[in-house]
Amino acid sequence: MAVGRSHEVTVRNSGSCLCLPRFMRLTFAPESLENLYQTYFRRQRHETLLVLVVFAALFDSYILIMCAVVYTSEKLASVSVASVGLAGDIILYLLCRFGLLPDRISRRFVPYSLWVLIASQIFCHLGLDYARFHQASDTVGWQAFFSFSFFLTLPLRLTPIVLITTVSCGVHTLVLGVTIAQQQQENIQGSTLARQVKVEVLN
C-alpha cells in the first residue's frame, strides 16, 4: 500500500519554479490529480482572502488614526487617500463575504485587484507621509508584512505569488533608492551652493 502511494507524488522538473528547493516542487501524479488539488486549495483559500482584506483595512485605519493624532493641513492628502482605500477595502470585503461577484471574477481578478490596492496604499503612504525625510527603512516593515501575508492568504498558485511579491519588493526598493539618492544629491548641491555664497560674501 505504501509503495503504491509513493508514486502519487513526484518532483516537478519543468516549468518556472525550477529555482525552488526540491521539497517546494513536489507535485501529484498524474497531472489531473495535481490540477484537482490546486483547484481545491484555491477554493479553500478564498476564505483567507478576507483576512488579507481586513489587514488592508487595518493599515488604512492606522494611517487615519496617526493623521488624526497630529492633524495639519499637510495631512489632508494622506487622509483622503487612506479614506478612499478604506472604502475600497470595505466594498471588496462585502462583495467577497456575501458572494456578490461572479465566481470567475472572484477567482481570477479579485486577488490581483487586492494586490494592486495594497501596493498603491503602501506607495501612497511612502510618498505622502515621508515626503521630506525619506530613509532606507521607510514602509519596509509594511512591505514585508504584506509580502508574507500574500503567501498565506492569496488563492493563487505559488508562481504568481512569487512574481507579484518580487515585483512589489523590487519596485519599492527601486523607488526608495532613487528618492534617497536624489535627496542626497540635492543636499550636496545645497551645501555646495551655501559654501559658494559664503565665500563670495567674505570676498
Q: Would you list the DSSP string of 56-110?
A: HHHHHHHHHHHHHHT--GGGHHHHHHHHHHHHHHHHHHHHHHTT-S-HHHHHHTH
**Segments in the chain forming alpha helices (H):** 2-6, 31-69, 76-97, 103-108, 110-129, 140-153, 158-202
In 43-82, which positions are buried (b, 16+ CB within 10 angstroms) versus exposed (e)? eebbeebeebbebbbebbeebbeebeeeeeeebeebeebb
C-alpha–C-alpha distance, residues 181 and 49, integer Å? 37
**What pairs with residue 11 in β-bridges?**
26
Grid cell at residue 94: 462585502
| Spacing of C-alpha 134 from chain mean position | 19
Q: Find out whether 8 and 33 touch, Cβ atoms under 8 Å.
A: yes
Count Cβ atoms below 10 Å from residue 135 Cβ, excluding itself: 10
Count Cβ atoms below 10 Å from residue 156 Cβ, excluding itself: 23
Q: Find out whether 125 and 60 touch, Cβ atoms under 8 Å.
A: no
pLDDT tens sequence for the chain (203 residues): 444 454 577 666 665 555 666 555 667 677 777 677 677 777 777 778 999 999 999 999 999 998 888 777 888 888 999 999 999 999 999 998 888 888 888 888 999 999 999 999 999 888 887 766 667 677 889 999 999 999 999 988 888 899 999 999 999 989 888 887 787 776 676 666 566 656 556 66
Q: How far is CA 38 from CA 10, 32, 35, in A?
A: 15, 10, 5
The answer to whether the pTM exceeds 0.95 is no
Which residue reads 567674505 in cell numbers?
202
φ and ψ at residue 9, rounded to 5 degrees: -120, 130
Q: Rounded to the nearest 10 degrees, how much is the dihedral formed by the CA atoms of 34, 36, 39, 44? A: -100
